[in-house]
Structure 1
Amino acid sequence: MKLICSKMNLLRGVNIVSKAVPTRTTMAILECILIDASANEIKLTANDTELGIETVIEGEILEPGIIALDAKIFSEIVRKLPDNEVTIETDSSFKTLITCEKANFNIIGKSGEDFSYIPYVERKESVTISQFTLKEVIHQTIFSIADNDNNKLMTGELFEINENQLKVVSLDGHRISIRNIELKENYQPKKVVVPGKTLNEISKIIPGSTEEEVNIFITENHIIFEFDQTTVVSRLIEGEYFRIEQMLSSDYETKININKRELLDCIDRATLLITEGDKKPIIMNVTEDFMELKINSFIGSMNEDIDIEKDGKDIMIGFNPKFFIDALKVIDDEEITLYMVNPKAPCFIKDAQESYIYLILPVNFNTSMN
């Protein structure tokens, strides 16, 4: 095999597929990036058996062929090459010469034939969404998946399609994040759980253009995302997702309109007094025209008032400040509305159209702090 392409194109391709190279594996071939120049295009592929990514890069094929190169070494070499044309040449014993300007690297590759290809998945009806929307939806929900494997379903996100509605849900047992998106067309109902790892990697490699689109194909066991010259294939998480409908009651005793930035800044300031591992809640004391926020920790205490518009009852309620910060950071609205029932029931942050809903469970606090 012999091919020439620009360092910029090569590096972009390597950065994209590297997201699917496993950090730990017993199969050495999976620690490689496959360069396949056997069929009139230069395709890079990586695959950890759960997640596979392939991308096509521009370049010139002088001799067709295929080679698997150690991902770590290959990506470091490419990253440090001069910004110029790169030539990659292999021989029958998989010796690989990488040349750029005066730099020459000789490394040993592996047979491309041994590489574990991305599974062929039949593509039927594709769901189309803008790159920008997909990237935004992931950003606005991914923070509330669980980061341990105690419950596999909590490590993924529900993608539920009904006609022209896409609902994306994540939860970790303490909070729920929901985004409702209107699609341009109607689709058959679908309901799958996509691994959080897959969505995290997609959000890093997708350009996020408002004009460009992503085609999503869903089968029984896999989901495929196609955008630009890149294809991401991921296994789905098996199992029935949690029934959250009964938790999404629209009843409330207290409704609060508040400036998002003021609330976020205030909670952020309060966390200065919380050390790592300290479970001190932020307490919201809601009265007629303002919300008093206070925190009491081993370091000290803080309280601050924020002007609000309130309907309904006064309430005093405590929350994990991080959970509030995570949700507020991803909401674009200047003014937000909080809905509360009582100090032991979840708080909802949602807009009138329910395009986003964030549910946060309260925490108990000692009333002697007041």
Structure 2
Amino acid sequence: MKFICEKNKLQEAISVTQKAVTGKSAMPILQGLLIDASEGKITITGSDIDLSIETKIDANIIENGKVVVDARLFGDIVRKLPNSSIEISSATDNSIEIICEKTKFNLIHMSADDFPVLPSIDEKNIFSIEQKLLKNMIRGTIFAIAQEESRPILTGVLVEIKDGRINLVALDGYRLALKSEAIDSDGSIKAVIPGKTLNEVVKILEDEGVVNITFTSNHILINLGDTKIISRLLEGEFIKYTSIIPEEYSLKITVERNKILNCIERASLVAKEGNTNLIKFDINDEFMVLTSNSQLGNVREELNIILQGEPLQIAFNAKYMIDLLKIMDEEEIYMEFSSSVSPCVVKNKQDDNCTYLVLPVRLLNN
């Protein structure tokens, strides 16, 4: 193997493919990157079996070949090299030589034959979506996935495509996040993508261009042209989320998102010290009072609102409210309530493309 390529392109390709290398595998080969020099391109692949990322870059291929190198060390070396052309070649049966200007490294490699073969996916049933739109939808839901592995299906995000719309849904038992957008597709898909996969996908997606996506019964392929991401899907039945979202409410308020977010963030400073993160909402005709008490003190915030319905007292974990308010993008939002022990539903005032649900914390007097 021997090739010459630009440092910046190689560094970017390493950075992308390293996202699939967790370093936690018992198989040493999975702590490496597969480098394949052939057909005028360098193909670099990282994998932990569940998630694989492959990217191609242009290079001057002098001699075809492929090796596996330690992902972390190879990435560190390339990053520290001068911004110039890099020549990489096989030095011995088990090492490669990396030359850049007056710097020379010899690096031990592993056999490419031991690297796992990526799943073969037939890209017939493709649906396309704007990268920016998909990125915003992932960001708008992924914060609500379950962190504990006790219910594995909830550590992923449900993707539903039907009737010309795409829905992304995440829930963890305390809150639910739903983003919905119209897309040009007449297909029907229902699959759960691991949150770990989408956390890496959102770092790779850009603000321009289209991404092509293919689902199989077990895998998803996200094709960005030179970069392909293949991930296994989570097995099992996702919760019927539509039955969780209340269809009716007895109280609705209109409020400025930034103002209520700032109030809750300030109130949570005291709430955190009490280890409960509890914020109490006292909703009245023209304003809402937010309070929090702990051993170190208390706080009171007053906020103007527009109210439809009867006054209500209800309490929430501040973190859950802060997470969703930060991710929303409209200045005015609706908050819908049914009772002090029923979920609160939060929506945009203008664009009906998201629904957030937060369970309240039960107050003693309720």
TM-score of the superposed pair, with normalisation by structure 2: 0.97
Where in structure 1 are there 5+ consecutive unaligned residues?
Answer: none
Query: Is 1:293 equivalent to 2:278 in the alignment?
Result: no
Give the alignment of 1:131-210 within 5 angstroms.
Answer: 131-183=131-183, 185-209=184-208
The offset of 1:134, in angstroms, is: 1.1
What do residues 170-219 of structure 1 show as CA deviations (whole Å, max 9, x unaligned)? 00000000000110x2232110000000000001122232xx01101011
1:334 Cα deviation after fit:
0.3
Residues 1:254 and 2:240 aligned together: no
2: CA distance between counterparts of 1:12 and 1:365? 52
CA distance in 1, matches of 2:358, 2:265: 17
- The count of aligned residue pairs is 365
Q: Would you say the 8 A contact 1:280–1:296 is kept in 2?
A: no
Q: Could you tell me whether the CA contact under 8 Å between 2:213 and 2:220 is conserved in 1? A: yes
CA distance in 2 between partners of 1:276 and 1:217 (Å)? 47
Matched, 1:273 2:270: yes
Q: CA deviation at 1:350?
A: 1.2
Deviations 1:58-84 (A, max 9, x none): 221111111110111101111111111
Matching of residue 331 in structure 1 with residue 328 in structure 2? yes
- Counterpart CA distance in 1 for 2:263 and 2:141 is 22
Task: Report SS of the residue matched to 2:185.
Answer: strand
Quick check: 2:159–2:169 contact (8 Å CA) kept in 1? yes
Residue 238 in structure 1 maps to residue 235 in structure 2:
yes
Q: Determine the structure 2 residue equivalent to 1:38.
A: 38
- What is the CA-CA distance between 1:23 and the residue it aligns to? 2.1
Contact 1:274 1:299 in 2 (8 A): no
RMSD: 1.4
Give the structure 2 partner of residue 342 of structure 1. Answer: 339
Unmatched runs of 5 consecutive residues or more in structure 2: none
Asked if structure 1 preserves the Cα contact closer than 8 Å seen for 2:40 and 2:59, the reply is no
Query: How far, CA to CA, are the matches of 1:187 and 1:59 in structure 2?
Result: 40
Of 210, 215, 221, 1:218 maps to: 215
User: Which residue matches 2:129?
Assistant: 129
The residue number in structure 1 matching 2:114 is: 114
Q: Aligned-pair distance for 1:228?
A: 3.8
- Whole-Å Cα distance in 2 between the matches of residues 139 and 355 of structure 1? 14
Check conservation: 2:171, 2:177, Cα contact below 8 A: yes
Shift of 1:367: 4.5
Residues 12-31 of structure 1 correspond to what in structure 2 (within 5 A)? 12-31=12-31
SS at match of 2:73: helix
Structure 1: 4+ residue segments shifted above 6 A: none
CA distance in 2: counterparts of 1:310 and 1:151, whole angstroms: 38
